[in-house]
């Protein structure tokens, strides 16, 4: 009996927890907002939870249940009260005093501890850095931008946007041709500066809108998403607002600030002369429109479009709730576990949330796969391969493996249905299509070329007298073609004649008197003639081009067919060469290939 009474006893709530009025739901039901100032977190609760927490001081689940049933139209059981208590414990809303509270805090601290590798992995994927507290700055700037919150300002902005588009349209060809300047070094620097300016204006827009409606903005900073910097502004205080239109205004204020910049840049581009200033306005206008429409409005990622959709549907924590509902829907359609849904929205709203969750899953699969491939190509191969594996494992395989683990643990509860068989067959076919090759061979463009090849040249001009045959297999050092030079032949014969004459002359001289002097001169002339003959011999030796390595002669120029020694043989290999050129002082000869 004592154990049963202790089980119904309620631990006290923290004294700093605040209970604030919340907005009404789309059906008109009241809500309340639970503010945890220590964690700067807001929790939306309904009528039953509000009544339970309002009577939490009774200290007993049975007493709380009797009081609610007696004083309201609600029927709440002690089990419902204890369920709210478990929620408060998970949300750290209970006062942690005494030995039991200290043990609970130590257990939570131990659960939050991670290994160094997991900490590094988590901070590589997402790291938030707080830079400044902008609350006072935004309060000072707010009077200067009060015009942006005038009811007629959207109409004026729309007219200005129409005028800017009209002026740009009149010079559309010049506007699009400005894009080539962005690919220069100066253009890239200006583009980076323009993008940074738009992002700062975007975050200031969120902060100023929040201050306009009385919210506090405690922090601005930069978050690193897979090492990519993204600015952020803490406007969590917007949860205090009970007017849904004010929250929508804060959600859209960042994009509105970017659109104001884009409209102003479009108008300035139309009136500025050609130059860096006009090109900068082009980049500011073009990048702002593109990023606003393609990125910020995307509801499948947690950007402005997501929060706009969440507030439009009045579905706080849209992604997590839709994911839980989609997992339940998928399990019931496939295996029929018979579980109760995590929540009971209207049938139309349920289908919308499930469709949204499925769309996010498909989008994230391709997005994270693309990011993994991008990271792989940007880093050096070893690091790129590791980072790609981390991206695919953490964002794609980990959620799939977790869901498969649930299916494996609950295989005894499976109620075989036709959907299960169809899904199993489809999954098997898809897996086989991914793992098995579709064709027995792979076709790809390729270039066939020899292991070694060279183009042969001659150092002296001359007439071809001998050429190796096409496709002839030769060893290293074999003469491939020989040239004949009439000029060198004349110099050779002249030098030989001079040498023979000087030797005969020296043989008839004596070494006395005047003849001794003539003998010395003759010996000098003989040395010159011998040196000349050596030079001629070396030059004539160069005319014989030899194989630098063993191989096959290929692509012999066609004019060589008339030269002596031309042979007609079968073609052994296919190689290429440029045209043969007859010009001094060098002649391009056949390619030597091996």
Regarding beta strands 220-225 and 228-233, do their DSSP bridges make them parallel or antiparallel, or are they unpaired? antiparallel
pLDDT at residue 166 above 50?
yes
Q: What is the pLDDT of residue 570?
A: 30
Percent of the chain with pLDDT over 90: 5
Residue 251 has pLDDT above 60, yes or no: yes
Domain membership of residue 537 (yes or no) is: yes
Residues 469 and 574 both lie in one domain: yes
**pLDDT score of 583:** 32
DSSP labels, 338-398: -PPPS----HHHHHHHHHHHHHHHHHHHHHHHHHHHHHHHHS-HHHHHHHHHHHIIIIIIH
User: Same domain, yes or no, for 476 and 563?
Assistant: yes
pLDDT digits (tens, 9 = 90+) for 404-451: 888 888 877 777 666 667 777 777 787 777 777 776 677 777 777 777
Segment holding 128, helix H or strand E: strand 126-132
Range from 36-45, 171-180, 296-305 carrying the lowest mean pLDDT: 171-180
pLDDT in tens, 325-384: 999 988 888 887 888 888 888 778 888 999 999 999 989 888 888 888 887 887 777 777
CA 423 to CA 329: how far, in whole Å?
Answer: 14
> In this predicted model, which residue has the larger pLDDT, 117 or 237?
237
CA-based torsion, 550, 554, 560, 562: positive or negative: positive
Q: How confident is the model at residue 322 (pLDDT cuts 50, 70, 90)?
A: very high
Q: Which range of residues forms the domain containing residue 107? A: 2-112
Average pLDDT on 77-105 reads 80
CA angle 176, 182, 186 (to 5 degrees): 145
Residue 558: which pLDDT band, with cuts at 50, 70 and 90? low
CA 539 – CA 546 distance, rounded (Å): 14
The alpha-helical segments, DSSP class H, found in 43-97 are: 47-54, 61-71, 78-90
CA 279 to chain CA centroid, nearest Å: 27
Q: What's the confidence (pLDDT) of residue 173?
A: 73
Do 272 and 297 share a structural domain?
A: yes
Closest alpha carbon to 489 in 539, 527, 545: 539
Q: Please say if the pLDDT value at position 592 is more than 90.
A: no
CA distance 362 to 153: 39
The predicted pLDDT at position 572 comes to 29
Between 246-250, 274-278, 496-500, the lowest mean confidence (pLDDT) is in 274-278
Percent of the chain with pLDDT over 70: 81
Which of the four pLDDT bands, split at 50, 70 and 90, describes residue 178?
Answer: low
64 burial (CB, 10 Å; 0-12 / 13-18 / 19+) is buried
Shared domain check, 295 and 218:
yes
Residue 6 or residue 378, greater confidence? 378
* Confidence category of residue 211, pLDDT binned at 50, 70, 90: very high
Give the model's confidence band at 568: pLDDT under 50 very low, under 70 low, under 90 confident, else very high: very low
More confident site: 298 or 3: 298
- Residue 163 shares a structural domain with residue 238: yes
Of the three residues 435, 468, 501, the one that is the final residue of a domain is 435
Residue 306, in any domain of the structure:
yes
Average pLDDT value for residue range 445-459: 75
CA distance linking residue 211 with residue 139, whole number of Å: 7
Residue 327 counted as domain residue: yes
* Total domains present in the chain: 5
Q: Specify the pLDDT at position 281.
A: 79
Q: Which of 177-181, 267-271, 567-571 has the lowest mean pLDDT?
A: 567-571
Span 257-272, mean pLDDT?
85
Q: What is the mean pLDDT of the chain?
A: 77
Q: Per the structure block, which two tokens stand in for 147?
A: 């015009």
Q: What is the pLDDT of residue 177?
A: 67
The residue from 112, 139, 166 where one domain ends is 112
Q: Tell me, what's the pLDDT at 123?
A: 64
Does residue 443 fall inside a structural domain? no
Q: Is residue 446 part of a domain?
A: no
Based on the fold, state whether residues 165 and 239 are members of the same structural domain: yes
Range 380-386, long-range pairs (CB < 8 A, 24+ positions): none
Residue 442 inside a domain? The answer is: no
Decide if 440 is inside a domain. Answer: no
Last residue of a domain, one of 85, 112, 139: 112
Please write the tens of the pLDDT for every residue from 56-84.
888 888 888 888 888 888 888 888 888 88
Same domain, 193 and 217: yes
What confidence category does residue 209 fall into, taking pLDDT thresholds of 50, 70 and 90? very high
Same domain, 464 and 535: no
Let me know whether 101 and 161 are in one domain.
Answer: no
Does the pLDDT value for residue 139 go beyond 80? yes
Residue 120, token pair as written in the block: 């590094």
Write the CATH number for 474: 2.40.50.100
- Write down the pLDDT at residue 187: 66
Q: Which of 130-144, 166-180, 474-488, 578-592 has the lowest mean pLDDT?
A: 578-592
- Whether 166 and 285 map to the same domain: the answer is yes
Do residue 360 and residue 429 come from a single domain?
yes
pLDDT at 149 over 80: yes
Q: Quick one: pLDDT at residue 6?
A: 52
**Is the Cα torsion angle 549, 552, 554, 560 positive or negative in sign?**
positive
Of 4-8, 305-309, 584-588, the range with the lowest mean pLDDT is: 584-588
Q: Is position 382 within any domain?
A: yes
Task: Tell me what pLDDT residue 57 has.
Answer: 84
Instruction: State the pLDDT at residue 399.
Output: 86
| Whether residue 303 sits in one domain with residue 329 | no
């Amino acid at each position: 009996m004592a154990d049963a009474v202790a089980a119904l006893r309620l631990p006290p709530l923290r004294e700093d927890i605040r209970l604030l009025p919340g907005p009404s739901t789309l059906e008109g039901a009241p809500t309340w907002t639970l503010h945890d100032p220590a964690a700067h977190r807001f929790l939306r609760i309904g009528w039953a939870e509000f009544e339970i927490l309002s009577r939490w001081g009774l200290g007993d689940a049975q007493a709380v249940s009797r009081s609610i049933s007696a004083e309201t139209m609600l029927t709440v059981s002690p089990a419902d009260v204890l369920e709210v208590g478990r929620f408060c414990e998970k949300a750290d809303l209970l006062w942690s005093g005494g030995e039991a509270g200290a043990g609970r805090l130590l257990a939570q601290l131990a659960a939050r501890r991670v290994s160094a590798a997991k900490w590094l992995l988590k901070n590589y994927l997402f790291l938030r850095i707080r830079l400044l507290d902008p609350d006072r700055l935004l309060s000072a700037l707010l009077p200067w931008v009060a015009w942006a919150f005038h009811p007629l300002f959207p109409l004026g902005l729309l007219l200005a946007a129409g005028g800017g588009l009209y002026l740009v349209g009149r010079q559309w060809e010049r506007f699009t041709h400005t894009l080539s300047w962005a690919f220069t070094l100066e253009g890239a620097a200006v583009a980076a500066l323009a993008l940074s300016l738009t992002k700062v204006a975007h975050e200031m827009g969120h902060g100023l809108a929040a201050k306009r409606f009385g919210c506090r903005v405690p922090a601005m900073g930069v978050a690193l998403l897979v090492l990519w910097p993204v600015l952020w502004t803490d406007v969590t205080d917007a949860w205090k607002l009970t007017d849904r239109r004010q929250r929508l205004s804060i959600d859209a204020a960042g994009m509105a600030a970017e659109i104001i910049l884009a409209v102003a840049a479009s108008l300035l581009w139309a009136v500025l002369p050609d130059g860096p200033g006009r090109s900068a306005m082009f980049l500011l206008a073009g990048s702002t429109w593109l990023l606003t429409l393609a990125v910020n409005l995307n509801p499948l990622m947690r950007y402005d479009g997501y929060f706009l959709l969440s507030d439009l549907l009045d579905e706080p924590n849209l992604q997590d709730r839709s994911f839980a509902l989609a997992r339940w829907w998928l399990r019931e359609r496939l295996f029929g576990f018979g579980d109760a849904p995590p929540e009971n929205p209207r049938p139309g709203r349920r289908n919308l949330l499930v469709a949204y969750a499925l769309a996010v899953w498909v989008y994230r699969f391709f997005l994270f796969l693309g990011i993994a491939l991008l990271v792989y190509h940007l880093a050096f191969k070893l690091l790129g391969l590791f980072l790609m594996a981390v991206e695919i494992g953490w964002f794609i395989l980990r959620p799939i493996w977790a869901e498969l683990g649930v299916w494996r643990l609950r295989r005894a509860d499976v109620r075989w249905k036709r959907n299960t068989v169809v899904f199993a067959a489809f999954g098997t076919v898809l897996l086989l299509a991914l793992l098995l090759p579709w064709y027995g061979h792979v076709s790809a463009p390729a270039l066939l070329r020899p292991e070694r090849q060279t183009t042969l040249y001659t150092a002296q001009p001359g007439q071809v007298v001998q050429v190796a045959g096409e496709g002839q297999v030769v060893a290293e050092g074999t003469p491939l073609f020989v040239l004949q030079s009439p000029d060198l032949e004349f110099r050779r014969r002249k030098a030989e004649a001079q040498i023979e004459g000087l030797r005969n002359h020296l043989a008839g001289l004596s070494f006395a008197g005047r003849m001794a002097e003539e003998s010395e001169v003759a010996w000098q002339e003989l040395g010159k003639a011998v040196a000349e003959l050596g030079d001629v011999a070396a030059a004539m030796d160069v005319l014989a081009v030899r194989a630098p390595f063993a191989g096959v002669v290929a692509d012999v120029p066609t004019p060589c067919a008339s030269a002596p020694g031309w042979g007609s043989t079968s073609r052994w290999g296919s190689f290429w060469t440029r045209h043969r050129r007859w010009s001094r002082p060098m002649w391009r000869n056949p390619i030597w290939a091996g």
